[in-house]
Amino acid sequence: MTWQYNPRTAIVRGLRTPFARAGTVYAKLDALELGKIVVSELLQRSEIDPKDVDEVVYGNVIPSVKAANIAREIVLGAGLPRSIPGFTVSRACASSNTALTSGADMIARGYADTVVVGGAESLSTVPILFSRRFAEVLVAASRQKTMAGKLGLFRKLRPKDLAPDAPALAESVTGLTMGESAELMAKENGITREAQDKFALQSHLRAAKATADGWFKDEVMSFPVPPDYENVADTDNLVRADTTYEALAQLKPVFDRKFGTITAGNASGLTDGASAILLMSEEKAKACGLQPIGYLRSYAYAALDPFDQLLQGPALAIPLALDRAKLTLKDIDVIEMHEAFAAQVLSNIAWLGSRKIAETKLGRSEAVGEIDPEAINPTGGSIAIGHPFGATGARIITSVCNHLRRTGKQYGLISVCAAGGQGSAVIVERE
Ligand SMILES: CC(C)(COP(=O)(O)OP(=O)(O)OC[C@H]1O[C@@H](n2cnc3c(N)ncnc32)[C@H](O)[C@@H]1OP(=O)(O)O)[C@@H](O)C(=O)NCCC(=O)NCCS
């Protein structure tokens, strides 16, 4: 099946907050605050009339229990016209990719011509829930009319009922965390610790160079951080310009302490941050005299059984997106793969280059294509820059578009793996 966008979706520009290690500069900000900051700055920089925005579509993985539809809350809280509707999407780490493709679908149908998309995550302020038993007692106590009745219920609680119930990074069906799943993938695909550390080093050194060379200046905003405005956030604080292969090689494995290869150094860290992209129909962007940073060419999502190799979704989504774009891997000028773990990127590369995988998983007779790990992620990736789940996809899409503009190249491919065994692939073009 061939597939084409009509009208074409222009990626007018993208912006993000600097990404920060959880518990640092944004420790007091939730995802909504971060989202409001980046969306209002994006609209100001874009110099469009906010009244022109038809919809806000926003990604978020760990939602607030008080404001679940973060997209609409951004409209209401960021001073946008209150007539703009908004909806929130979640596809785990591919949430802002999904926000972008949902916005583009509205444009392609002619239902909208200006859509703000993006995503935010605050791992500093994840909601910590009461245990089920404690919550039941609280609800029952609220219905009691007398203090004695309330106290009688509370007396039935045991100390273990008071333990908090934190959100898990574990898969519901396998019970394994992302890190444990990535460990299994490393073993099954023969990805060595050395290869992972080498890849992590490349991520940090490239991100540090891109930052120093000013490559992120159009896509990373700076701002005094509320609520006290004493610190200015102006750069990603997880990037380690001074890291070395030797330092990485000394770190202890975290998810399989005895035989494992994944460490704090070759995994993405827990991160806070937000991103946003302004999408328009090509016609509207031209009519407004705007120069888009790129155009959406195609996209695809795919999924595999989480009991298989959990984070290999991109290896299934990429060939679909290439087919839909009528391109092959050889046509792609820049590839950016989200780095949940170095082991996951290297495993996806191994699958894409495997004829056996093509035959057994894709129903194809030829491998999708060889990728040199040194040829991807030219400005570093999530290992160095960080990974605020809901925000990452839009960060990468913006970065790839800007990279194509800087280098004068034409096609960019973005992939993101996601919980539940899903993968996202997006192809963008410069002209
Ligand atoms: C891997 C993980 C458990 C590490 O958490 P952490 O222990 O808080 O990590 P830290 O940043 O404190 O790093 C631990 C140590 O490694 C060191 N380290 C980390 N990266 C390093 C680097 N590039 N070079 C040198 N040292 C490094 C730190 O300095 C720290 O050393 P210290 O203990 O002496 O201070 C956590 O980041 C994690 O869970 N990541 C995966 C998240 C995930 O699953 N995401 C979903 C993916 S889709």
What is the distance between the alpha carbons of residues 317 and 198, in angstroms, rounded to a whole number?
26
Q: How far is the CA of 201 from the centre of ligand 1 (A)?
A: 14
Phi-psi group of 363: left, alpha or beta (phi > 0 → left; psi -120 to 50 → alpha; rest → beta): left
Using an 8 Å Cβ cutoff, are 280 and 290 in contact? Answer: yes
Q: Is residue 325 a part of any domain in this protein?
A: yes
Q: Which atom of ligand 1 is nearest to the CA of 417?
A: 48
- Alpha helices by DSSP H, listed for 53-117, are 70-77, 95-109
- Cα separation, 177 vs 48, whole angstroms: 43
Active site residue 387: yes
What six digits make up the tokens of 341? 């773990």
Task: Give, in order, the Cα–Cα distances in Å from 143 to each of 60, 138, 148, 154, 354.
Answer: 34, 9, 12, 13, 62
Query: pLDDT at position 239, please?
Result: 98
d(CA 332, CA 410): 8
DSSP 237-300: SS--TT--HHHHHHSPPSSSTTT----SSSBPPBEEEEEEEEEEEHHHHHHTT---SEEEEEEE
Please state, in angstroms and rounded to a whole number, the distance separating the CA atoms of residues 295 and 113. Answer: 14
Helix (H) or strand (E) holding 208: helix 193-212
- Best residue among 171, 174, 237, 254 to mutate for probing ligand 1, ranked by most atoms within 8 Å of CB: 254
Residue type, position 94, single letter: A
Q: Which atom of ligand 1 is nearest to the CA of 262?
A: 1
Residues of the chain short of pLDDT 50, as ranges, are 1-2
Residue whose CA is at the smallest distance from ligand 1 atom 12 = 264
Domain presence at residue 198: no
Entry pTM: 0.95
Is residue 116 included in any domain, yes or no? yes
Ligand 1 in reach of 162 Cβ (< 6 A): no
| Residue appearing with tokens 């495997």 | 354
Distance of alpha carbon 285 from alpha carbon 291, whole angstroms: 7
Atom of ligand 1 nearest to the CA of 270: 37
Predicted confidence at residue 253, as pLDDT, reads 98
- Residue 23 domain-assigned (yes or no): yes
Mutate to test the pocket of ligand 1, among 199, 206, 270, 347 (most ligand atoms within 8 A of CB): 270
Amino acid 1: pLDDT: 44
CATH number of the domain within which 16 lies? 3.40.47.10
Q: Which two tokens stand for residue 220?
A: 């990373």
> Which among 338, 387, 401, 403 is annotated as catalytic?
387
Q: What is the total count of domains within the chain?
A: 1
Supply the pLDDT for residue 82: 98
Question: Is the distance from the beta carbon of residue 264 to the nearest atom of ligand 1 less than 6 Å?
Answer: yes
342 CB near ligand 1 (under 6 Å): no
Amino acid (1-letter code) at residue 123: L
Q: Is residue 34 part of a domain?
A: yes
Active-site residue, 403 included: no
Q: What is the rounded CA–CA span in Å between residue 426 and residue 299?
A: 4
Q: Cα–Cα distance between 238 and 236 in angstroms, integer?
A: 6
CA distance 50 to 44: 9
Cβ–Cβ < 8 Å for 270, 237? no
243 Cβ closer than 6 Å to some ligand 1 atom: yes
Phi–psi pair at 187, nearest 5 degrees: -70, -45
CA of 266 to the centre of ligand 1 (A): 8
Pocket of ligand 1 contains residue 270 by CB under 6 Å: yes
Q: Does residue 378 lie within any of the structural domains? A: yes
93 is catalytic: yes
Chain position carrying tokens 């596809």: 91
Q: Does 148 map to a domain?
A: no
* Residue-number span of the structural domain to which 323 is assigned: 9-125+268-429
The alpha carbon dihedral of 185, 310, 301, 69 has a sign of negative
For residue 394, report the distance from its CA to the centre of ligand 1, in Å: 23
Cβ of residue 337 lying under 6 Å from some atom of ligand 1: no
What does residue 407 show for φ and ψ, rounded to 5 degrees? -100, -5
Whether 18 is covered by a domain: the verdict is: yes
Residue with CA nearest ligand 1 atom 15: 264
60, two tokens? 């978020």
Q: Is the peptide bond before 227 cis (omega within 30 degrees of 0)?
A: yes
C-alpha to C-alpha distance for 420 and 424, rounded to whole angstroms? 12
